[in-house]
A and B are shown apart, each in its own frame.
Chain A
């Protein structure tokens, strides 16, 4: 437990809820980003161990952001999330370099931990 995590999503209500959920499950939320560009920037600055990354961002597509993050030398583990169902995205999750997908409504520290352990 105690992973350092960065939350990337353009909806403030989700960022706030996710922060509470993850923190109450023992994660350390080191920062939040509202779009793809700032996500890349915060990744370099904060060096999180995990990035919770929304698929639909206002500037760059979430899967593209994921590919760019996982191209870094010592990159964090990326977990994709969306209010849509994971099956809507087909094989995109695995091909983008993400370690897994969690639907927003089912987000919990336990689910994230499971994906990290797998």
Chain B
């Protein structure tokens, strides 16, 4: 930082020296009228640009806008060489007399971030810079001094090739016309930018952009007159009006900066004052939105327990990505902990300090509001999981009805018909009747097996009668994949926890058989730190997707209804581990 300050100090000293040299040149000039006024004006303009430029440079060292503004000041001093009585210096002065306009246009186009990203605008500058020298160069090469309307004392051009008025007029008109086109295009770009800008951007752009636009309008008018009527006595763009707008630009810029600082201070103190009234979430958003002048502002809250962002209603929210052209966000912290974020218009990044001050001022309120949002998020999650449980219940009943209808019921219907047939044949065809009855016996066996399977799915009787251990042993015994049962806690768990544990194991083993291609599975139920821990691991292919079926989702809801958690870890090729923790 001190290195930057020293460098800026050196540039400032250079600016002062160059200004004093310019003052000396003007005051000693034989051909400049009103030397005092001209010298004062030149110093005023040059130093204004250099001063304001250095200020901007110091405030935002990474932004090249300050450099460009400083360069405008130096380039302006270069044009003062036209006051020199030396033919060579005078010629140089005229050649560079419009350079400052080119740098100024560059500065306007690069406002406010100091960069020019558009290749088209770079091309405009690539033509504009040479043109700013070629235009006056033509005057120096071909113009008849008497044609220019200058005084007799004006030094001779050091590079005059001839005084052909026709050649001069043609070339001068051509360069002026090109300059008009460029200035017109730049004007169009600036006005378009103004129209495309959002409110906070406009506020930041206004002072520089409007003084620049006014200057360019005057310049375009003047150049057009020149191109049509030939050059008048004014060299370059020193029409009084143009000069006025030009001189105002650095002040407009500094005014804009100061105003935003004053506004900032006011906005933050007003914000602090109003936050004291403990606004609700809408009120808080409105206050922040007013303080930052950004109607699109949003406040989001950080939920530490689930590591996600939510809005004030507890609904999931997302932060804009870093490369979002329109939106950006600033973190809000309290005592080193992240509590929320302010999502704002990207143009406010220019006012980084203001956003940070607002974020600090609103920290406590956002922390309070975060607790509310957290509560709402929990309620919302509860509501959803409750709806899912109801839905799962309905789906389960549908499945049961379908299974009963398609399975046991059909078998019993067929059985009933067969029995009736057998009854009819009992006397006439006893052998046929016997065959029918044998078939009926098989059908009845299958119907019973289906009913047993179904009943077990509703609630395993062995679980209520003989406890979790016996129920898990039965599950393990029926599984086609060998299951190693590591043990169950000695104390009996509450029935709801036992049932949840049983169904977690049942669902997990079903999945192992269906998808895992495992050679064996391990089941363990333990009790630790007031929690029942249920783990089912297999040595299968892994890669299980928790969103694949409704089974796991339903289990997760069932577990969360008991305030527990369900975790699935299934790396590709490394087996699957399902772990449920249920508070006891």
Contact = CB atoms under 8 A, between A and B. Distances in A.
Contacts of A104: 413, 416-417
B421 A24 contact: yes
B411 A13 contact: yes
A40 to B, nearest CB: 23
A21 interface: yes
B153 interface: no
B405 A105 contact: no
Given A14-B410, A105-B412, A105-B416, A20 B405 contact: no
Interface centre among B410, B413, B418, B424 (most CB of A within 10 A): B413
A88 B410 CA distance: 17
A41 interface: no
A70 interface: no
A82 to B, nearest CB: 9
B414 interface: yes
B450 to A, nearest CB: 12
A11 B417 contact: no
Interface in B395-436: 405-406, 409-414, 416-418, 420-421, 424
Contact of B420 (A13, A16, A83, A108): A108
Contact of A24 (B416, B424, B443): B424
A99 interface: no
B509 to A, nearest CB: 30
Nearest to B416: A105
Given A14-B414, A17-B414, A105-B416, A83 B421 contact: no
Main secondary structure of the interface of B (DSSP, over half): helix
A105 B424 contact: no
Interface size class of A (residues with CB under 8 A): 10 to 19
Contacts of B416: 104-106
A13 B412 contact: no
B534 to A, nearest CB: 38
A83 B413 contact: yes
Interface string A16-60: 111011001000000000000000000000000000000010000
Interface centre among A18, A20, A24, A83 (most CB of B within 10 A): A83
A29 to B, nearest CB: 14
Contacts of A17: 413-414, 417-418, 421
A98 B413 CA distance: 22
A107 interface: yes
Contact of A14 (B413, B420, B424): B413
A105 B419 CA distance: 10
Contacts of A16: 414
B413 A21 contact: no
A105 B421 contact: no
Nearest to A13: B414
A104 B412 CA distance: 10
A20 B421 contact: yes
Nearest to B402: A56
Given A56-B405, A83-B405, A11 B420 contact: no
A13 B424 contact: no
B510 to A, nearest CB: 25
Nearest to A20: B421
Interface string A53-84: 00010000000000000000000000000011
A105 B410 CA distance: 9
A18 B413 CA distance: 10
B18 to A, nearest CB: 92
B446 to A, nearest CB: 9
Given A13-B410, A14-B410, A21 B405 contact: no
B410 A83 contact: yes
Interface in B508-562: none
Contact of A11 (B410, B418, B443): B410
A6 B92 CA distance: 110
A84 B410 CA distance: 10
Interface centre among B411, B414, B443 (most CB of A within 10 A): B414
A108 B418 CA distance: 11
Contacts of A18: 417
Contacts of A106: 416
Contacts of A21: 417, 420-421
B125 to A, nearest CB: 72
A20 B440 CA distance: 14
Contacts of B418: 17, 20
Interface string A94-117: 000000000011111000000000
A24 B424 CA distance: 10
A24 B425 CA distance: 10
A91 B174 CA distance: 94
Contact of B417 (A56, A84, A105): A105
A20 B439 CA distance: 13
Nearest to A22: B417
B415 to A, nearest CB: 8
Nearest to A16: B414
A13 B421 CA distance: 15
Given A13-B411, A24-B424, A107 B405 contact: no
Contact of B443 (A13, A20, A56, A107): A13
Contacts of B420: 21, 108
B341 to A, nearest CB: 53
B408 to A, nearest CB: 10
Nearest to A25: B424
Contacts of A108: 420
A17 B424 CA distance: 14
A16 B414 CA distance: 8
Given A16-B414, A17-B417, A105-B413, 17 more contacts: A13-B411, A14-B417, A18-B417, A20-B421, A21-B417, A21-B421, A24-B421, A24-B424, A56-B405, A83-B409, A104-B413, A104-B416, A104-B417, A105-B412, A106-B416, A107-B417, A108-B420
Interface of A: 11, 13-14, 16-18, 20-21, 24, 56, 83-84, 104-108
12 contacts: A11-B414, A13-B410, A13-B443, A17-B418, A18-B417, A20-B418, A20-B421, A21-B420, A56-B405, A83-B405, A104-B413, A107-B417
Interface pairs A-B: 5 shortest CB-CB: A17-B417, A105-B416, A104-B413, A13-B414, A17-B414
